[in-house]
Structure formats: C-alpha cells, structure tokens
Amino acid sequence: MTDFIKTGVIGHPIAHSKSPLIHNYWINKYRLNGTYKAIDIHPDNLQNGVGALINEGYSGFNVTIPHKIAIMALCDEIDDLAREIGAVNTVTIKNGKLYGTNTDAYGFVQNIKANATDFDFTGQNALVLGAGGAANAVVYALLQEGAAQIIITNRTKEKAQKLAQLNPDKIKIIDWDLRNNVLDDVGIIINTTSLGMTKNPPLNIDISKTQNALVTDIVYAPLYTDLLKVARNNGIKTVTGIGMLLHQARPGFKLWNGVVPSVTKELEDLVLS
Ligand code: ATR
C-alpha cells in the first residue's frame, strides 16, 4: 500500500473553493491513495495553522485569498516564478520545509493554448483590464510568452503603475476611462477584474470595437460573462475563465501525487454544476 497523501487548500473563507472538487476528482480518476481538503485558516493563525499541516504529515497545499502573500514569509524556499509574480499559490512540504511556487500564470497560458489552438502569444499586443492579484500572474505570463506590448488599465492607476514595474519597457498604462480607445490595437484582451461576476456590476466596455482580438475573462461565474457574450455575438473569438482555474491546479497535483492530471470536459462540467 502506498502512503496516504494528504493535501488541501488553505484560505479564509474557504467553503466555496472549487479546488477540493478538482483534486478529489483526479485522486479518484487516477486511483490514488489520498485526499484533498478545504482548510479554513484565519489570517491571525496562519503560522500555527500551517504548522499543524506539517505535523499532520501533509505533502502540500494550495493557498488562496487572503494568504497568497502572507504565506511567502513562512516558506523556506520560493521559486523565481512566484517571487516575480509576488505571490505563492502552491506549497510542497518536504522534511518539514515549505517550498512555494505559483501556478496561476501557467493556468492562464494553458487555458488559452487549450481553447484557442491557433492563437500565438509571440509578438502580440495585449490589453489587461485590472491590476489586482490575478492581473499580476496574467501580465507575467504575457511577458514570458513573448507579448510585444502590454497595455494595463485599472480604476486605481497606482496599482497599474506598480504592476508595470515587471517590465517598464513593454508595459504601458492608460486611464481606465480610455479603455475603449485601444480595443482595436491589440490581439488579446483579458478581463482580470471582478466586474461581470455574479452579483457584481458588469464590465462596461464596447468590446464590439475590436476586430481581431481574442477576448478572455478570468471570471467564470457566470461562465459566459456579458463581456464574452457580446464578443461572441459580434463574431469575436473568446475563451472562458474556467480553464484557468482547472489548469492552475495541475502542477500542484503533479508535485504532490506524481501524476500529470488532465483537464476534461467532464471535470469542467463537474466544477460548473
Ligand atoms: P484579484 O486578486 O482577484 O485580482 P483584487 O486584487 O481585489 O482581486 O482585484 C480586483 C480587480 O478588479 C482590481 O483591478 C479592481 O480595481 P481597483 O484596483 O481599482 O480596486 C477591479 N475592480 C473591482 N471592482 C471594480 C469596479 N467597480 N470598477 C472598476 N474596477 C473594479
């Protein structure tokens, strides 16, 4: 009998996380001996909470809101990727030590590659709407994949300016109010804001002004946001956000369980149900 592999996701709140559904689906599918739990850790108790996971023999865990930055101080090692993105979302525990990485950029890129197979990031101009945590990973991914120029626009300009420090030569910032003016200058448009999410206001943008861009949203509830619906109705190529969530889970699963899991339609339907 192989060892029982304990993994999970830490966050606060955590009840609505889709990660246990994804990882336990894979654990069953690949007939592995283990489990993946949602673990609520209050921000005031992060160190003790993580210490308990080490003591209980966990192999690793995902990290979600609000711990993605705070966990960095507790890691023994953080890889270059996570350090550049400025957040850790995946931790492996080995001999009581914590190794942090970030798989959000990977998730973003793999989602596009899997669902827009003829799209090539190299040399593209990109428009990134938003400058929060998710935008960080998206901008990093665009740079890694060889995008030519990245335009960032965010309601709070200072946050866009901070994000531009990743590569000031390639990143340009425009005012949030001017977002409609650049829609036809780019090959990919990514909404990383929470606008358009169920119960949130819609993203107000005249997406029909773009002609050749691929439009994608990191929001996946609803799966087809107004942004994606309007784009589709105008014959614009779109990729939904659910694949980013599914693909970002794969490297952690591989690190802890030794199996590269696949993203399937069955898994996507399960997570969306
Ligand atoms: P995440 O980590 O998921 O990216 P976040 O860091 O809270 O979450 O970022 C949310 C993003 O949505 C930000 O870019 C935010 O803009 P601000 O930086 O100005 O807060 C954007 N956002 C949220 N509500 C918005 C609104 N009503 N109008 C414009 N942008 C909004």
Angle between helices 250-257 and 104-115 (to 10 degrees): 120
CATH number of 120-236: 3.40.50.720
Q: What is the pLDDT of residue 151?
A: 98
Domain with CATH 3.40.50.720 in the chain: 120-236
In the residue annotation, 68 being an active-site residue is answered as yes
Instruction: Read off the pLDDT of residues 238-247 as tens digits, 9 standing for 90 and up.
Output: 999 999 999 9
Instruction: Read off the pLDDT of residues 26-70 as tens digits, 9 standing for 90 and up.
Output: 999 999 999 999 999 999 999 999 999 999 999 999 999 999 999
Average pLDDT value for residue range 73-92: 97
Interatomic CA distance for residues 80 and 73, integer angstroms: 15
What number does the ligand 1 atom closest to the CA of 131 have? 14
Out of 128, 162, 178, 194, give the residue to mutate to test ligand 1, the one with the largest number of ligand atoms within 8 Å of its CB: 194
Q: What is the distance of C-alpha 125 from the center of its chain? A: 20
Q: Ligand 1: residues whose CB is within 6 Å?
A: 130-135, 154-156, 159, 192-195, 201
Report how far ligand 1's centroid is from the alpha carbon of 210 (Å): 23
Domain with CATH 3.40.50.10860 in the chain: 5-103+244-272
In the block, residue with structure tokens 């960080």: 136
Please state the φ and ψ torsions of residue 38, each to the nearest 5 degrees.
-90, 125
Q: What is the pLDDT of residue 1?
A: 56
Query: What mean pLDDT is reported for the chain?
Result: 97
Q: Are 103 and 249 in contact (CB under 8 A)?
A: yes
Which one, of 101, 117, 195, 98, lies nearest residue 154 by Cα? Answer: 195
Instruction: Read off the pLDDT of residues 138-193 as tens digits, 9 standing for 90 and up.
Output: 999 999 999 999 999 999 999 999 999 999 999 999 999 999 999 999 999 999 99
For the sheet with 188-191, list strands across it. Answer: 171-175, 149-154, 125-129, 188-191, 214-217, 238-239
Catalytic site residue from 6, 29, 37, 68 = 68
Q: What is the pLDDT of residue 211?
A: 87
Q: Is the pLDDT of residue 272 over 70?
A: yes
Helix (H) or strand (E) holding 160: helix 157-164
Average pLDDT value for residue range 81-89: 95
pTM tops 0.75: yes
Q: Is the pLDDT of residue 271 over 90?
A: yes
Average pLDDT value for residue range 243-252: 98
Interatomic CA distance for residues 177 and 253, integer angstroms: 41
> What string of DSSP letters covers 173-220?
EEEGGGGGGGTTS-SEEEE-SSTTSTTSPPP---GGG-SS-EEEES--
CATH number of 5-103+244-272: 3.40.50.10860
